[in-house]
Structure 1
Amino acid sequence: MATINKTRSVRTHEGAKARAFTPEQALKRALMNCMLWEDQFYEDGVAIGERIGALVPKVAPETVAAMAIEAREDMKLRHAPLLIVREMARHETHRGFVADTLERVIQRPDELTEFLAIYWADALGPMQQRKKAAVSAQAKKGLARAFAKFDAYQLAKYDRDGAVRLRDVLFITHAKPKDEAQEKVWKQLVDGALSPPDTWEVALSGGADKKAAFERLIADKKLGALALLRNLRNMQLAGVPKQTIGKALDEMRTDRVLPYRFIAAAQHAPDLEPELEHAMFRSIEGHAKLKGKTRLLVDVSGSMDSMISARSTMRRLDAACGLAVLAREIGEDVEVFTFSNHVKKVPSRRGFALRDAIVQSQPHMGTELGKAIREVDQKGVRLIVFTDEQSHDRVDAPKGVGYMVNVASYQHGVGEGDWRRVDGFSEKILDWIIASESA
């Protein structure tokens, strides 16, 4: 008779022995890098979304709520936290946390409508029919509280055509305005009478001369840092003088912009690399220092070349390069290595030169992570690995302090022993390492 009482062996997508995670750990892995319903290199977005839904009721409700808030506020994810709240609303054990969590994770008016679209996403029939489906009392309460956070400018900016409109949210939630001024704004919203906001999207879509529109927006400081970075190529095509763009980059606020944003921008405006690099270094000024000796292992395997989002041209490798640039600048003693089929030490460079050295260090093929860790001397150093964890080979325990920074949402990860695991990528990763070691 065959034996069925066996422990099921789990493997990465590349075949290495993987480690089992608790439901809480598995939910965090799936969530913190999740661009909702978008495919990744090894797994499709629907499967990742379904896994999140299945894990929510297995994790304590207060933990799920905190995780959704962390995903929105620290990891800057917009849609995946809304899916988390939808799943919370479906389970009696979690419903009591829905209103507070939803109010917290909704930070833009369009997230009100996105939540309802996600809430009704798996209902049958056309959207007009789905709108008749009941919305839970806790969800209505959270939406109503969130709606009251936004002023006329914000509501006008995000009052867009779509299957679900902002006025639909008002009708469904029966939100109460806090005063007469807000009541007037909401009536204008319902009547379609809000004044168009002076944004770059409106300025450029209204038929105005693009060169003149960009120059006015720059002069009036109406372009935020991310909008400026995303529009560099459009400005060049419109004929905005390079010195005007350079001055805008020199004057932009950089305190909330991570290096990988500058790396992504340079792909579209390579002739502005000197100005972008200068702004990138300004964004790092005053950052807390990573003390002691650090070795970085950056995954340059083929799967790291996949895009973070279907609407983005930024690869997971670009994000890893951005973290490496940051670590190089704030670290007292940092050495950088890459791994794919081999391990390569990267020259001691800074900024975009470090990015180039990482990307060009070797062919982007397999994921021999275990081999890389065994070959890099770990004596007396802090080892930080930036990877999607889909290794071919066994990954041993770190010999010293080891951090496994996972930059994908895949179900299974690697690493025997006491790896300190970090899921997601943001400016908070190195902050967290510095804070945890100084505690």
Structure 2
Amino acid sequence: MVRLNKIVRALTFEGAKAKRFTPEMALKRALMNCLLWENQFYEDGVAIAERIKLLVPQVEPSRVAALAIEAREAMKLRHAPLLVAREMARHEKHRVLVADTLARVIQRPDGMTELLAIYWADALGPMQQRKRQPVSAQVKKGLARAVTKFDAYQLAKYDRDGAVRIRDVLFLVHAKPKDADQEKVWKQLVDGELASPDTWEVSLSSGKDKRATFERLIGENRLGGLALLRNLRLMQKAEVPHGTIAGAIEAMRTDRILPYRFITAARYAPDFEPELESAMLKSIKGYARLPGRARLLIDVSGSMFYPLSAQSEMTRAEAACGLAILAREVCDEVEIFTFSNEVVKIPPRRGFALRDKIVGSQPHNGTYLGKATSEIDRKGDRLIVFTDEQSHDTVPDPKGRGYMVNVASYQHGVGYDAWTRVHGFSEAVIAWIAASEQTKH
């Protein structure tokens, strides 16, 4: 006889007892660390995307929209918010918020084409041969508002070959240009007459001297922060002067760059660690401090050292180290520990020196978060854990203020009830902790 009312227990991938979250919390967990459709250590990207699709209609519409905007603006994720907006368009109660949501989450021209690619992805067969289903009115309104945000340079930069082009968006939504100049730009786009943008990709592929090209791009401030980090090794190979590169790092904008990217850049260009460290810490200036005592606990188990996704060079350990470095800067009194099979206390160093101590503190084996928490937690302290929330053992409630900072998208996690849950690997999670404590006083 089959028991229809049997209890199905929620467990982490490593076997610890977990909790089944509310749909809203489950959506937030899946969304805030999601590199869409890219495989992670325990789950493949398709499973995570399908979970997002199932959760959207279960969550109150305004909360879904808010989560999509938070994922784009605070966590700096591009693709997952578009999937959420597309799923909102399927459901009557959510549909009315789609235009406003798209207008916020589309911040680059290719966001429009990627949204349509997602929208039409349900049909079978190659994208070029798929029957494109009619696009909802709310999606059209959102795209029409988004397309007016971009100038000629941005449109030319992101007008790439593909199944969906930016001109397809213009034909689809019949947007009204803001003025005569924008109308002229759109006509040039449709006619294929927009001037090729002077981007670093175009310049470097032109066959010109790479050193001279990099020096020109830096001098004209045409190399964005992320492009600068990605090209450090190539610039060194091209023998761009050290001082030129160092000056570019010092002058770069850091507001759209996630902390772990500096750590990854330093892995490939260690000569620039001092400048990269300074740039990484720049964004924390002005953050509210965390008064009193704090203990940081960083997960260094094996799963943390696999890439963020199958297509990424960066690891969750690098994401956790970046957040730990920032947290160390805002805590008045701090003690720092790592955990895997054991719990190890390390010196509260700063910047990349702290990263080195975290990574080298112990072998990267199992995940005994419950044991580590029990050993180091103290009444009256603030405990901040950076982890992918997979554990072999049960995690007890914190004795003081406890924050579980989750840097993965897995369905089940550990540490709930009395723990305050924070999701994401943007520096925004540290700012959120500081702001939330301020509002409670």
Please give the TM-score of this superposition, normalised by the length of structure 2: 0.96
Q: CA deviation at 1:260?
A: 2.1
CA, structure 1 residues 263+141, in 2 after alignment: closer, same or farther (shift >3 Å)? same
Match of 1:105 in 2: 105
Match of 2:314 in 1: 314
How many residues of Structure 1 are paired with residues of Structure 2 in the alignment?
Answer: 439
CA, structure 1 residues 204+131, in 2 after alignment: closer, same or farther (shift >3 Å)? farther
Matched ranges for 1:394-433 at <5 A: 394-433=394-433
In structure 2, distance between residues paired with 1:48 and 1:417: 24
Q: The residue matched to 1:195 in structure 2 has which SS? A: coil
Match of 2:374 in 1: 374
Contact 1:68 1:101 in 2 (8 A): yes
Match of 2:183 in 1: 183
Q: CA deviation at 1:280?
A: 3.0
Q: The residue matched to 1:314 in structure 2 has which SS? A: coil
Match of 1:75 in 2: 75
Match of 2:357 in 1: 357
Q: The residue matched to 1:94 in structure 2 has which SS? A: helix
Contact 2:380 2:399 in 1 (8 A): no
Task: Report which stretch shifted further, 191-200 or 402-411.
Answer: 191-200
In structure 2, distance between residues paired with 1:425 and 1:373: 21
Q: CA deviation at 1:253?
A: 3.2
Match of 1:146 in 2: 146
In structure 2, distance between residues paired with 1:379 and 1:371: 16
In structure 2, distance between residues paired with 1:100 and 1:371: 46
Contact 1:384 1:403 in 2 (8 A): yes
Matched ranges for 1:286-297 at <5 A: 286-297=286-297
Matched ranges for 1:136-285 at <5 A: 136-254=136-254, 257-285=257-285
Contact 2:407 2:425 in 1 (8 A): yes
Match of 1:303 in 2: 303
Read off the aligned partner of 2:335 and give its amino acid letter: E
Q: CA deviation at 1:3?
A: 4.7
Deviation beyond 6 Å, 4+ runs, structure 1: none
Q: CA deviation at 1:427?
A: 1.4
Q: CA deviation at 1:391?
A: 0.6
Q: CA deviation at 1:79?
A: 0.4
CA, structure 1 residues 4+188, in 2 after alignment: closer, same or farther (shift >3 Å)? same
Q: CA deviation at 1:245?
A: 1.0
Q: CA deviation at 1:271?
A: 1.9
Match of 2:48 in 1: 48
Q: CA deviation at 1:332?
A: 0.6
Contact 1:256 1:283 in 2 (8 A): no
Report the identity percentage: 72
Contact 1:327 1:334 in 2 (8 A): no
| 1:343-402 deviation digits (Å, cap 9, x = unpaired) | 000122111111000001111111101011001132221000101111110111111110
1:344 correspondence with 2:344 = yes
Q: CA deviation at 1:247?
A: 2.0
Read off the aligned partner of 2:135 and give its amino acid letter: V
Read off the aligned partner of 1:392 and give its amino acid letter: H
Q: CA deviation at 1:256?
A: 5.0
| 1:264-319 deviation digits (Å, cap 9, x = unpaired) | 11011012212322333444333321211100110011111121233431111001
Contact 1:396 1:417 in 2 (8 A): no
| 1:44-102 deviation digits (Å, cap 9, x = unpaired) | 10011001101111111111111111111111010001100111111122111111111
Read off the aligned partner of 2:61 and give its amino acid letter: P
| 1:164-194 deviation digits (Å, cap 9, x = unpaired) | 1111111122222232221111110011111
Q: The residue matched to 2:97 in structure 1 has which SS? A: helix
In structure 1, distance between residues paired with 2:333 and 2:114: 45
Q: The residue matched to 1:309 in structure 2 has which SS? A: coil
Contact 1:296 1:334 in 2 (8 A): yes
Contact 1:11 1:17 in 2 (8 A): yes
Contact 1:301 1:365 in 2 (8 A): yes
Contact 1:342 1:372 in 2 (8 A): yes
In structure 1, distance between residues paired with 2:378 and 2:122: 49
- Please give the root-mean-square deviation of Cα atoms over the aligned residues, in Å: 1.5
Contact 2:295 2:381 in 1 (8 A): yes
Long gaps (5+) in structure 1? none
CA, structure 1 residues 365+255, in 2 after alignment: closer, same or farther (shift >3 Å)? same
Task: Report which stretch shifted further, 255-264 or 227-236.
Answer: 255-264
CA, structure 1 residues 124+253, in 2 after alignment: closer, same or farther (shift >3 Å)? closer
In structure 1, distance between residues paired with 2:142 and 2:2: 53
Long gaps (5+) in structure 2? none
In structure 1, distance between residues paired with 2:270 and 2:18: 40
Q: The residue matched to 1:323 in structure 2 has which SS? A: helix
Read off the aligned partner of 1:128 and give its amino acid letter: Q
